[in-house]
Amino acid sequence: MNIYDIAELAGVSIATVSRVVNDSPMVSEKTKQRVRKVMEENNYTPNVFARGLGLNSMKTVGLMCPNVADAYMAKAVAYLEQNLKEYGYDCILYCSGYDAEERQVAVNAILQKRIDALVLIGSSYAEDDENSEKVEYIREAAKQVPVFMMNGCIQGENIYCALCNDFQAAYMAVTELIQSGREEILFLSDSHSYSASQKLRGYTQALKDAGLPVKDSMCVYVENKIDKARDLLLSRNDLMFDAVFATEDGLAVGALKYAKKRNLSVPRDISIIGYNNSELSVCCDPELSTVDSRGERLCKIIIDSMMLRLKNRKIRSKVYANGFLIRRKTTDF
């Protein structure tokens, strides 16, 4: 019986077994008890190799995102890597894809590496419900290493979340549109993720507070690609709107191209607000008004908190950063 056998029987990585042997604070008490029980049942005595694996930090953190080609996620990876380097840490990057099963496989794979912590980038990992059984694999991962979520939220031991307050930011942006005289505001999104659902809540509440009707027909979903958003809006002759609140800058640029195709003046005929303040927002004409979702700030919060956690210091399980609207040329306020 060796460390690999114990790891397999306990359903954890060999690094986790070693951390249990060394009583590392990085492993939850529940997991420690499970691993120790397996060791006792199999009369396992840790050898020098098993003890040595977990004595020192590998100073390596796992980063995972669905798609590094996404502008928001690419910037997040860059910011996280930069902050990790300041602490002398390296990182391993995995791209999991968006499929739920693929995400779970990717998380299990990265846990086999000798990482000190795991960062999940993007709200798709949290699904649309932080208590969903679909995210149980993340809670299981957190029994082995601390898990940090960027712009996603899951309740669980050893899980720490840093989020933009998307509800507040969406509420503020839509309220600004209403106060400028817009009443038929289209909600344009690419997913039903945790972040997108918070933006929808903010959009809906702003309409309700202004005494405007909330119409299901004004909530439109399309893949986050400029041409896809443009073509969908061009095909929907049933939609009548004087403003667009988009949950991604790419969708907002698609709405801008739709307006040009329809010979609509922006922002005179239609106002458009995007989200994330990506490079796309200043690469279009007119330049896009957009919500800055504080990606750089969230990355710093995550890494600073992680370093405290790895020293067995207590940290907050959830931290918010408030987004703010950057007014450019696609709004008239």
Q: What is the pLDDT of residues 255-271, one digit of tens each?
A: 999 999 999 999 999 99
pLDDT band at 13 (very low <50, low <70, confident <90, very high): confident
| Cα Rg of the chain (Å, integer) | 23
- 155 and 228 in a common domain: no
pLDDT score recorded for residue 83: 97
pLDDT of 49 strictly over 70: no
- 126 and 219 in a common domain: no
> Residue 90 is inside which H or E element, if any?
strand 90-95
Q: Global pTM?
A: 0.81
Q: What is the CATH number of the domain that holds 15?
A: 1.10.260.40
pLDDT band at 97 (very low <50, low <70, confident <90, very high): very high
Instruction: Select the more confidently predicted residue: 53 or 126.
Output: 126
pLDDT of 28 strictly over 90: no
Mean pLDDT value of segment 54-67 = 81
> Residue 246 is inside which H or E element, if any?
strand 243-246
Structure tokens at 174: 């839509």
pLDDT band at 129 (very low <50, low <70, confident <90, very high): low
Going by C-alpha positions, the residue among 321, 177, 149 that lies closest to residue 245 is: 177
Enumerate the β-bridge partners of residue 246.
Answer: 188
- How many CB atoms sit inside 10 A of residue 67's CB? 16
pLDDT in tens, 182-218: 999 999 999 998 999 999 999 999 999 999 999 999 9
**For residue 66, is the peptide bond before it cis, meaning its omega torsion is within 30 degrees of 0?**
no
Per the structure, the complete domain to which residue 157 belongs is given by: 60-164+295-321
In a domain, 191, yes or no: yes
- 79 and 17 in a common domain: no
Instruction: Tell me how far apart the alpha carbons of residues 206 and 218 are, in angstroms, rounded to a whole number.
Output: 14
Mean pLDDT value of segment 36-56 = 70
Among 38-42, 249-253, 302-306, the range scoring the smallest mean pLDDT is 38-42
- How many CB atoms sit inside 10 A of residue 300's CB? 18
Instruction: Select the more confidently predicted residue: 272 or 23.
Output: 272
Q: Is 184 helix (H, G, I), strand (E, B) or coil?
A: coil
Instruction: Tell me how far apart the alpha carbons of residues 131 and 151 are, in angstroms, rounded to a whole number.
Output: 15
pLDDT band at 57 (very low <50, low <70, confident <90, very high): low
Mean pLDDT value of segment 268-295 = 97
Structure tokens at 282: 């200043």
Going by C-alpha positions, the residue among 213, 189, 154 that lies closest to residue 276 is: 189
- 92 and 153 in a common domain: yes
Burial of 42 (0-12, 13-18, 19+ CB in 10 A): exposed
Going by C-alpha positions, the residue among 230, 325, 328, 222 that lies closest to residue 275 is: 325
- 28 and 103 in a common domain: no
Instruction: Tell me how far apart the alpha carbons of residues 242 and 186 are, in angstroms, rounded to a whole number.
Output: 8
In a domain, 102, yes or no: yes
What percentage of residues in the chain have a pLDDT greater than 70? 95
Mean pLDDT value of segment 53-79 = 85
Structure tokens at 246: 């988009």
In a domain, 326, yes or no: no
Q: What is the CATH number of the domain that holds 241?
A: 3.40.50.2300
- How many CB atoms sit inside 10 A of residue 237's CB? 7
pLDDT score recorded for residue 162: 97
What percentage of residues in the chain have a pLDDT greater than 90? 76
- 144 and 131 in a common domain: yes
- 284 and 171 in a common domain: yes
Q: What is the mean pLDDT of the chain?
A: 92
pLDDT of 142 strictly over 80: yes
Mean pLDDT value of segment 127-154 = 85
- 19 and 33 in a common domain: yes
- 148 and 46 in a common domain: no
In a domain, 327, yes or no: no
Mean pLDDT value of segment 97-102 = 90
Mean pLDDT value of segment 68-90 = 94
Q: Is 287 helix (H, G, I), strand (E, B) or coil?
A: coil
Q: Is 61 helix (H, G, I), strand (E, B) or coil?
A: strand
Distance between the two ends of the chain, CA-based, in angstroms? Answer: 70
pLDDT of 144 strictly over 60: yes
In a domain, 256, yes or no: yes
In a domain, 88, yes or no: yes
In a domain, 79, yes or no: yes
pLDDT score recorded for residue 311: 86
pLDDT of 245 strictly over 50: yes
Q: State how many domains the chain has.
A: 3
pLDDT of 47 strictly over 80: no
- 127 and 33 in a common domain: no
Going by C-alpha positions, the residue among 19, 130, 145, 55 that lies closest to residue 92 is: 145
pLDDT score recorded for residue 132: 65
In a domain, 180, yes or no: yes
- 154 and 171 in a common domain: no
- 306 and 158 in a common domain: yes
pLDDT score recorded for residue 48: 47
pLDDT band at 56 (very low <50, low <70, confident <90, very high): low
